[in-house]
Structure 1
Amino acid sequence: MLCLGIESSCDETGLALVKDGKLIAEKLASQIDVHAVFGGVVPEIASREHLRVLPALLRELLKEQDLTIDDVDVVSVARGPGLQGCLLMGLNFAKGLVLSCGAKLVGVNHLWAHLTAAGLEQELLFPSLGLLVSGGHTHIYFIESPLKFTLLGRTLDDAAGEAFDKTAKSLNLPYPGGKLVDDLGKQGVVDKKIFPVPYVNNDNLDFSFSGLKTAVATYVNNHPDLRLAAMGVPDEGSEDSKISEARKNMLASFNYTVGRTLEIKVERAIKAHRGIKSLIVAGGVAANSVVRSVMADVAKKYSIPLVLPSMHLCTDNGAMIAYAGYLMAKAGCRHDLELEAIPRGRVVPTDWICEG
């Protein structure tokens, strides 16, 4: 079975081919440079970029593999959650391909695809506990199979990735700021008293990072010398060493605080659900070194394997959509041409048609 995956939920245009569960080729067009000047993603611009690059990426992908669209058995597409206009670009492109070649159409839950992406590299054991940490979502799932996810906890306001980006922006670090916050924080010393660990004095599995964002903004306002005069990467050769050190310490403390928050909630979830066979951590923030280290410690503490996708599979990509679509099609699931895009804020329905 050859499955084509299409990802266009935000600012990355990804296409990939998965054959019988194995990734054979992928293409990715990033819009980071386009949106960096605005300090964040502009939805209309993102939608137009998807429309512009999708046909070219598909031609390149098929040509390099000496394939035609008629060789594709399944077209899987991210149907949500995401930016409405961006999702529609990918969804309509997928429907057009299905009409032209007769392949099956599968609409993929973008969030679930993140959590099953590691299956391209290693065996997934179920039931699993899944932690999804991205720019728009911080969710904990009980995962019984690639098609059965139960949401245990979610972000009530701002996600962890949003806190990373806003922290970077408060210091005049360029967008997207997550990697730079991580890299500079590695060079600093953690002060556990700088920032409060947010929304953990309760008995639930939900998250809230709005308070941490406020704490960061307050700290930077009280220490304005930490903010760069112009947006860019700190130049240690010309900057006061004490300021550079203080900024790194602040970011190390911020990374620690996010990691500690995730640790508390994930441990709480593991204790509440017996029989967990693995811990899956996915999403853009899963590339953060502190998050990866903390989750490794949690998995070791409870004697379960930690499942982490490779760095390139943490961010939005076509491979995860192709693989999730393959798993759904293999189970006999598909959609018809009435398939709808589901924007962020709405629950993606399990409205697939089952065959056999």
Structure 2
Amino acid sequence: MLTLGIETSCDETAVALVEDGRLVAQELASQVDVHAVFGGVVPEIASREHLRVLPVLFRTLMERTGKRPEELDTIAVARGPGLLGALLVGVSFAKTLSLSTGARLTGVNHLWAHLLAPSLERELVFPAVGLLVSGGHTHTYRVDSPVEFELLGRTLDDAAGEAFDKVAKLLNFPYPGGKKLDDLGKEAEPDTALFPKAYVDNNSLDFSFSGLKTAVANYVGKHPELVLERMETSALDKLDAGHRETLAGVCASFNWSVAETLRIKVERALDQVPDAKALVVAGGVAANSMIRGFMSDLARERGVELVLPGFSLCTDNAAMIAAAGDMLARRGMYHDLSLEAVPRGRTVPHDWIVK
């Protein structure tokens, strides 16, 4: 079975081919440079960029792999959650291809796809606890199969990735600042008392990072000397030793607060899923070094298998969409041309047509 995956949920445009569960090839275009001048993603610009590059990427993918559109069995597209305008570009493209080639159409939950991405590198075991940690969402799930996800904890306001982006912006780090914050934090030991753990003084599995973000904002407000003079990578490279050491300590301490919060919440999730065989950690922030370390330690302590995707599968990509679509198609789960895009803030419905 040959499945095309299409990803346009935010600021990455990507297409990929998966054949019988194996990744054949992927083409991806990043918009980082386009949005960097604004310090974040501008939805209208993102949509226009998807519209401009998606047909080119598709044509390049087919030529590079020697495949023809008529050979496609399934067209899988990220239907949400995400930026509505961006999603509509991908969904419209997918519907057009489905109508013209006769391939079946499958809408994919972008969040579930992140947690299924490691299937391209290894066999997944179930039941599992899934931690999705990205720019827009921080969720935990009980996962019983590729199509059975039970939401345990969800984002109430700022997601972990959003907190990283906003703290990096407070410090005037160049966009995207999350990785730069992580890299600089590796140079110092965290002060575990500097910032609070986020929304943990309760029994909830939900996440709220707005308080932590505010605590960092207040600290930076009292120490304006921490802020970079220019929002450029070179400004980080040229810091004097004292400034760099202090800033690294702040980054490490913030990083620790996020990682420790996630550890506490995931441990609670594991308590609710006592039969879990694995802990799956996915999403863009799953590339964070301290979070990966904390989750590795937790999985070892709880005696469950840790499943971490490779770095290329952490960020938004079409390979994970194609892989998830392939799993749905094998179960006879498709959509017709009434498939709708689902923006962030709305629940993606389970409205497959089962054949």
Aligned match of 2:53: 53
1:281-314 CA-to-partner distances (Å, cap 9, x unmatched) read 0000000000100000010001111000000000
Tell me how far apart the structure 1 counterparts of residues 68 and 34 of structure 2 sit (CA, whole Å): 31
4+ aligned runs moved over 4 Å, structure 1 = 234-238
Consecutive unaligned residues in structure 2, runs of 5 or more: none
Q: Note closer, same or farther for the CA distance 1:105–1:237 as it changes in structure 2 (3 Å cut).
A: closer
Q: Deviations over 1:39-84 (max 9, x none)?
A: 1111111001001011110110000111110011000000000000
- What is the rounded CA distance, in whole Å, between the counterparts of 2:187 and 2:321 in structure 1? 35
Instruction: With the length of structure 1 as denominator, give the TM-score of the two structures.
Output: 0.98
The code of the aligned residue for 1:272 comes to Q
Alignment of 1:226-245 (within 5 A): 226-233=226-233, 235=235, 238-245=238-245
The answer to whether the Cα contact below 8 Å between 1:228 and 1:234 also exists between their aligned partners in 2 is no
What's the counterpart of residue 261 of structure 1? Answer: 261
SS of residue paired to 1:78:
strand
1:100–1:186 CA distance, 2 compared to 1 (3 A): same
Q: Give the whole-Å Cα distance in 2 for the aligned partners of 1:82 and 1:103.
A: 25
Q: Tell me what 2:204 maps to.
A: 204
Is the 8 Å Cα contact of residues 135 and 161 (structure 1) preserved in structure 2? yes
Cα offset for 1:348?
A: 0.1
1:31 correspondence with 2:56:
no
Q: Note if contact 2:129-2:276 (Cα within 8 Å) is conserved in structure 1.
A: yes
Cα distance change on mapping 1:184 and 1:237 into 2, 3 Å = closer
Measured at CA, do residues 241 and 346 of structure 1 come closer, stay the same or move farther in structure 2, by a change above 3 Å? Answer: same
Q: Deviations over 1:315-352 (max 9, x none)?
A: 00000000000000001100000000000000000000
> 2:317: which partner in 1?
317
Aligned to 2:68: 68
Alignment map for 1:167-206 (pairs within 5 Å):
167-206=167-206
Write out aligned runs for 1:194-343 (5 A): 194-233=194-233, 235=235, 238-343=238-343
What does residue 9 of structure 1 align with? 9
SS across alignment from 2:67? coil
Q: SS where residue 220 of structure 1 aligns?
A: helix
Residue 106 of structure 2 corresponds to 106
Cα deviation, 1:201-222, whole Å, max 9, x if unaligned, reads 1011001000011011111111
Structure 1 residue 243, shift from structure 2 partner = 1.4
TM-score under structure 2 length normalisation: 0.99
Pairing of 1:67-86 with structure 2 (within 5 A): 67-86=67-86
- Cα RMSD over matched residues? 0.9
The residue identity in structure 1 corresponding to 2:59 is R
State how far apart, in whole Å, the 2-side matches of 1:77 and 1:274 are.
34
Contact 1:5–1:325 (CA under 8 A) maintained in structure 2: yes
Cα distance in 1 between the residues matched to 2:198 and 2:98: 46
Would the aligned equivalents of 2:228 and 2:236 in 1 still touch at CA under 8 Å? Answer: no
Q: Deviations over 1:181-235 (max 9, x none)?
A: 1100001121011100010010110010000110111111111111011112365
Distance 2:269 2:79 in 1: 28
Task: Check 1:2–1:119 CA distance in 2 against 1; reply closer, same or farther (3 A cut).
Answer: same
Given that 1:143 and 1:150 are in contact with CA atoms closer than 8 Å, whether structure 2 keeps it comes out as yes
In structure 1, C-alpha distance between the alignment counterparts of 2:237 and 2:112, rounded to whole Å: 44
Distance 1:236 1:268 in 2: 38
Gaps of 5+ in 1: none
